[in-house]
Amino acid sequence: MNFTDFSAADFRHRALNQIGAPIEHAWRDHGDHVLNPESLVEVEGLKLKDAAVLVPVVDDPDGAKVILTQRTAKLRKHSGQVAFPGGGIDEGDPSPEVAALREAQEEIGLHPDFVETVGRLPQYLAGTGFRIVPVLSVVRRGFTITPNPEEVDAVFEVPLSFLMNPENHQRDSRTWQGIVRHFYVMPYGERYIWGITAGIIRTLYERLYA
């Protein structure tokens, strides 16, 4: 593939025309869920909080970019990690899409007027207590970014072509709560993409580009 294969228009088409099992039933078959079948059973037994993240793919003529954040070190969960903008789904949110757009505006100042939601990925069950719906979107240029310093240390962009290249999907593991957890790692320059975010990116690759 060359960069024209990773345009926002092509991403939109793939997101709207996903093949494979319906997303309601496909989450066990993707990303690092496949790498951790035993711990997955454990997570399924937890009471999980519903959350949503926005996967913002920026429309650029030289190839689409993906907006990511670096979370502040003072947050209680996932502090310092690279993440998609997002958070808990509130009672007043009529859908995960609305929640993801609201959270993106609150966290990084991304106005919904610049964002077109184009689909979802299968849910991601996190051992830290969240059931996450990744909302796929295309973002047109002209937006401004204003990070909330209470939540975000930095906002940066990564070429979609880099993230969708399986050669950049490394595997690692560590022991957490007495269990060996396997996960994907995608180093990008000084950034270290891993955990939930890398798992969602891997699912995006498997659903749309593999």
Residue 210 lies in a domain: no
More reliable by pLDDT, 42 or 109: 109
Q: Report the percent of the chain where pLDDT is more than 90.
A: 65
What digits encode the pLDDT tens for the residues 47-77?
889 999 999 999 999 999 999 999 886 755 6
Distance from C-alpha of 144 to C-alpha of 105, rounded to nearest angstrom: 10
Residue 84 lies in a domain: yes
Number of domains in the chain: 1
Residue 167 lies in a domain: yes
The answer on pLDDT for 3 being more than 60 is no
Residue 138 lies in a domain: yes
Beta strands in 77-203 (DSSP E): 82-83, 86-88, 115-120, 124-126, 130-140, 152-159, 170-176, 179-188, 191-194
Residue 181 lies in a domain: yes
Q: DSSP letter string over 105-120? A: HHHH---GGGEEEEEE
Residue 31 lies in a domain: yes
Residue 197 lies in a domain: yes
The answer on pLDDT for 79 being more than 70 is no
Residue 193 domain boundaries: 3-205
What digits encode the pLDDT tens for the residues 35-44?
777 766 666 6
Q: For residue 192, give the CATH number of its domain.
A: 3.90.79.10
